[in-house]
Structure 1
Amino acid sequence: MRRDKAALVRMIGFGAGALLFSVLVIAVRVRWLPLESVDRGVANWLNGLVAPSGFLVSLMGGISRLGSFGVLSWLVVIASTVLLVRRRFRLTGFLLAAALGGLVLDPVLKLAVGRLRPVVEQPVAHGGGNSFPSGHSLNSFICYAALLLVFLPALPPRWRRPVLIAVGAVVALIGFSRLALGVHFLSDVIGGWSLGVAWVGLCAAAFELWRYEHGQNVTAPLSEGLEPEAADDLVPAEPHPREPERDGHGRGWVLAGLGVAWVLTFGALILLGLPLAHYRHGNGNVLGDSTIPHWFAAHRADVLGRITIIGSEVGNTHAILAIGLVIGALALAVVRRWRPVVFLVTVMFGELSLFLGSAAIVGRARPDVENMDGPMPTSSYPSGHVAATICIWATAAVLVMPRTRAWWRWLLPAAAVLMPLWVAVSRMYRGMHHPTDILGSCVLAGLWVLAAWWLLRPNHDLVEQPAPAPERTQLKAAWAVRSGVEGPATGSTGPRSGGRSGADVA
């Protein structure tokens, strides 16, 4: 009875969303005067309230970005990566189908309806394309609702209602931000939400029908998620029993150690960079700082220009962020521990802060040749592209090498050498850096990655000394007893305990 009632409520919600969207489409298309009057009144009132305040404009812009294609696509990519690695293919299909549906519906309906954007007295933002429905409102509702339905089983029951409310508040704020920035009418936002309700409801209904056809129980998605039995695989990381004899240091010591390591690395960068910046106004010939950029400038060619622009782009902020998000998602999905992710985040944010801080203080001029990438807001020393490339690929190698014996693991140490080399040569070829800028990047990345690895020990969950084969079965049995899991007589540990693989307990 309870499930029948829940199904009825979902059907009503789905129908109401579809009906409301249909009514709004008709009203917008015929330019119904009461609707247009409300839309323009709200747009002008909010513009007068928000536009004079730089803080409110920035705040609304930041909230709006939570519904942008970039943020939503990466949330879907990361979630899909975790689901695929953990072999939850049905949930992956639901998530991708819901997200792709939003990408199709938004532009098609904008073209079909053909409504122009609001014209306000003090424009503070610009929106591309037509106005109805609001793409941010539609896609944020679809993506956040789909993620919630997929991962709700991983939440403790007492947290599910607060999380539902929080997700609803985020979606509401995104829609409001589009109104406040003057790029959408009220009916655009409501239209996006109502269409989102209808589309997610349709996808969830299709998922439940698929479960019913295959003899599985129909769920109550808003209270227990789409696939409650997948809870163990949906938990991002599993609790790791603290082992004082191997932890060695507390969190306070680690944080203090990272602070000391950051300061010492920063000092080394400044000690190396300031003399280089002042010697002949940053263009002395220390280690070929003048000769090499001039040689590259004299031997530029179209083919090399195309190769080096790719080499420069693979080390920029967007590329490094994308690679880092994929590595973090894979690490969390495979290892089921937070420590590797904390290591990755610490390395990359530490690198960024060290680069920005040292560049601001050193202030070295770019090489005195044509800068093919144009003027840059930061100092030539050190190269942020090279430092970030070293850090991201070295981090990947550190996380993967001890965890597999497959031949492909050697590709990551190779990438940790070859990718920074490609980026470094590309940046010097394009006149953006001196050789000693590259040296500074190596100092930054080498010292910081080494310190983070030593303090955080990202592979702590692995046993350092593998036991001989006869002892491994005994260790597995001991782990099963200690975890309260009884395996069959063959020595198997039965269900997964703590998420560890054979390599973790051997």
Structure 2
Amino acid sequence: MGAVRDTLRRPLGHFTERTLAGLALVLGAGAGFGLVLVLVRFRWSPLYDVDHGVAGWLNAQVAPIGPLVTVLNAITDLGGRPVIVWLVTVAVVGLLIRRQGRLAVYLIATGAGALILDPSLKTLVDRLRPEVAVPIGGYAGQSFPSGHALGSMVAYGALLLVFLPAMAPRWRRPAMIGVGTVVFLIGFTRVALGVHFLSDVIGAWLLGAAWLGVTAYAFRLWRLERGRPATPLTKGLEPEAAHEVAPAPDEEKLLPHARAGTAEIIVGWVLVFGALYGFGMFVSYYADGTFLARLDETVPAWFADHGTASLDELSWWWSKAGDTHAIMLISLVFCPLVLAVWRRWRPVLFVALTMFGELALFLASAAAVDRPRPPVENLDGPMPTSSFPSGHIAATLCLWVAIAVIVCPRTDRWWRWAFVALAVVMPVGVAVSRMYRGMHHPTDFMGAILLTAAWVGLLHWVIRPNEDADEGNQPAIESGDVDTLDDELVRAGRPG
């Protein structure tokens, strides 16, 4: 019995020693935030002067430089709610797939706390945003604390703590510096764009650090209760989960012949562009009197004659399914799920090259062919690119075909056929909507099909994204292999 007590006291002693400094930092951050909150709430004159002086000076330096404003807006978006929610959601789903329920719960609780603290404190303090000479950023709502600064501190910090164990020791310090730099830059952009005072950002950083410290401390207590040793945070929250939180721990080499594959992709891209250019020039300028020319005249005119308000709205929504934002969102959800489920980078590389190559082929061929839009009312108004080929249709085709190519060989479950159906239904729906809205000819749709077939076929031949599944190195998802979310949460509560 005495030996058991000694066994329990030893980790408890180590835990106490290792956390005293951390607790002091957490308490310091909390006290610092409380001080800033009080000074802001009571409008302390020296702080007021500093805040308004910095806001005015930065606005005078930044506002006249357009490219700098563009860069600052791009950086500030990294702390916006869409990016933060996407990062945390994808990480949580991936962790549940990898059966790391405790870490998933930690991310959910930490992120939820930040979402609650930000609007609550904004309402409590009710501070107006800065008024600068040349407004370059427009944001509604109260000013203190900065939601971007708080969200980035909490989200990026929590993700770093979760995924640190997957990094080699030599990369952990650079990762910490990198995350700290990103958080600092996001906070700086809020002041530079004139949407927050300096004290808004400093207060958010202090609050974020305190909240991160509290949740990390609670997680370490959770570990201790389950008999796991207390470890320094420089090793991450769950060092034992290093293999499971690594994106692709089972893959040693991405491509066996990288140089040859790169050359084949470049040459293939040029050949696909040549085929697109030839077909585009023919249907645009040399197909008079042919069936293709009659088709291009008849179909847009028929759609224009049969338009209704309801169809206008429906076609708008279908068209949105093929725009850049929708395609990027689906890609940014699918690729992390591929890593979580199959632990392979090669399928992700296949999807990424498919979409980057499609974009390059579309822009190059559209500029070279320079085809006018159909001679009917264009419901989307003037467009900067030419009609051939359709970028919406090509992007939709490439994305959903690539997804179906990845999923179907890797599972025997019935829902794989849903991806095949989507690879047909989604492009056809987008194509009909684009032609209905007077933005494309039928041969523009054919050009998108040619682009997809040639480019996706080339990449499949070079990259072989399903080689591990074909060779049996990575088992497919079988009917009995999928655990429910309830199972994961039950595991999260079991002793480690």
Q: TM-score, normalised by structure 1?
A: 0.87
Determine if contact 1:359/1:381 at 8 Å carries over to the other structure: yes
For 1:184, the equivalent position in structure 2 comes to: 196
1:278-330 Cα deviation digits (max 9, x unpaired): 4699xx97151121111112212344333322211111111111111121011
For 1:251, the equivalent position in structure 2 comes to: 258
1:156 matches 2:159: no
Q: Secondary structure at the match of 1:215?
A: coil
1:378 matches 2:378: no
1:202 matches 2:214: yes
CA–CA separation in structure 1 for the residues paired with 2:368 and 2:85: 36
Q: Which sits farther off after the overlay, 188-197 or 203-212?
A: 203-212
CA–CA separation in structure 2 for the residues paired with 1:47 and 1:91: 41
1:231-265 Cα deviation digits (max 9, x unpaired): 1101111253569xxx7x62111111111111111
Counterpart AA for 1:218: A
In the alignment of these two chains, the number of paired residues is 464
Q: Secondary structure at the match of 2:468?
A: coil
Cα displacement (A) at 1:207: 2.0
Q: Secondary structure at the match of 2:385?
A: coil
CA–CA separation in structure 1 for the residues paired with 2:324 and 2:64: 32
Q: Secondary structure at the match of 2:469?
A: coil
For 1:484, the equivalent position in structure 2 comes to: none
CA–CA separation in structure 1 for the residues paired with 2:268 and 2:240: 45
CA–CA separation in structure 2 for the residues paired with 1:108 and 1:339: 44
For 1:174, the equivalent position in structure 2 comes to: 186
For 2:340, the equivalent position in structure 1 comes to: 333
Determine if contact 1:287/1:436 at 8 Å carries over to the other structure: no
Counterpart AA for 1:187: S
In percent, how many aligned pairs have the same letter? Answer: 51
1:452-483 Cα deviation digits (max 9, x unpaired): 1000111121344x7xxxxxxxxxxxxxxxxx
Determine if contact 2:410/2:475 at 8 Å carries over to the other structure: no
1:399-448 Cα deviation digits (max 9, x unpaired): 11111111221121221111111111111112221111111111111110
**What are the equivalent positions in structure 2 for 1:309-458 lying under 5 Å apart?**
309-458=316-465
Determine if contact 2:62/2:192 at 8 Å carries over to the other structure: yes
1:291 counterpart (292, 295, 298): 298
CA–CA separation in structure 1 for the residues paired with 2:227 and 2:395: 50
Counterpart AA for 1:230: A
Q: Which sits farther off after the overlay, 119-128 or 36-45?
A: 119-128
For 2:489, the equivalent position in structure 1 comes to: none
For 2:494, the equivalent position in structure 1 comes to: none
Q: Which sits farther off after the overlay, 139-148 or 307-316?
A: 307-316
For 1:459, the equivalent position in structure 2 comes to: 466
Determine if contact 1:116/1:130 at 8 Å carries over to the other structure: yes
Cα displacement (A) at 1:148: 0.5
Determine if contact 1:137/1:171 at 8 Å carries over to the other structure: yes
Query: Aligned-pair RMSD on alpha carbons?
Result: 2.3
CA–CA separation in structure 2 for the residues paired with 1:228 and 1:348: 36
Cα displacement (A) at 1:343: 0.7
For 2:17, the equivalent position in structure 1 comes to: 5
Determine if contact 1:285/1:291 at 8 Å carries over to the other structure: no
Q: Secondary structure at the match of 1:330?
A: helix
CA–CA separation in structure 2 for the residues paired with 1:429 and 1:138: 45
For 1:84, the equivalent position in structure 2 comes to: 96
**What are the equivalent positions in structure 2 for 1:29-178 lying under 5 Å apart?**
29-178=41-190
Counterpart AA for 1:440: G
Q: Secondary structure at the match of 2:467?
A: coil
Structure 2: tracts of 5 or more residues without a match:
1-12, 479-496
Cα displacement (A) at 1:147: 0.2
Determine if contact 2:393/2:448 at 8 Å carries over to the other structure: yes
Q: Secondary structure at the match of 2:333?
A: helix
Q: Structure 1 residues 119, 503: closer, same or farther in 2, change over 3 A?
A: closer
Q: Secondary structure at the match of 2:415?
A: helix
Q: Which sits farther off after the overlay, 366-375 or 290-299?
A: 366-375
CA–CA separation in structure 2 for the residues paired with 1:348 and 1:229: 36
Structure 1: tracts of 5 or more residues without a match:
467-498
CA–CA separation in structure 2 for the residues paired with 1:40 and 1:435: 58
Q: Secondary structure at the match of 2:135?
A: coil
Higher relative contact order (CA 8 A, sep 6+): 2
CA–CA separation in structure 2 for the residues paired with 1:113 and 1:40: 17
Cα displacement (A) at 1:226: 1.1
1:193 counterpart (205, 211, 232): 205
Counterpart AA for 1:253: A
1:234 matches 2:245: yes
Determine if contact 1:265/1:444 at 8 Å carries over to the other structure: yes
Q: TM-score, normalised by structure 2?
A: 0.88
For 2:486, the equivalent position in structure 1 comes to: none
CA–CA separation in structure 2 for the residues paired with 1:183 and 1:125: 6
1:176-224 Cα deviation digits (max 9, x unpaired): 121122221110100110111122222222222322333333332x211
CA–CA separation in structure 2 for the residues paired with 1:231 and 1:391: 34
CA–CA separation in structure 1 for the residues paired with 2:269 and 2:91: 32
Q: Structure 1 residues 39, 290: closer, same or farther in 2, change over 3 A?
A: same
Q: Secondary structure at the match of 1:110?
A: helix
Q: Secondary structure at the match of 1:290?
A: helix
Q: Structure 1 residues 242, 61: closer, same or farther in 2, change over 3 A?
A: closer
CA–CA separation in structure 1 for the residues paired with 2:196 and 2:435: 45
Counterpart AA for 1:227: E
CA–CA separation in structure 1 for the residues paired with 2:54 and 2:41: 19
For 2:6, the equivalent position in structure 1 comes to: none
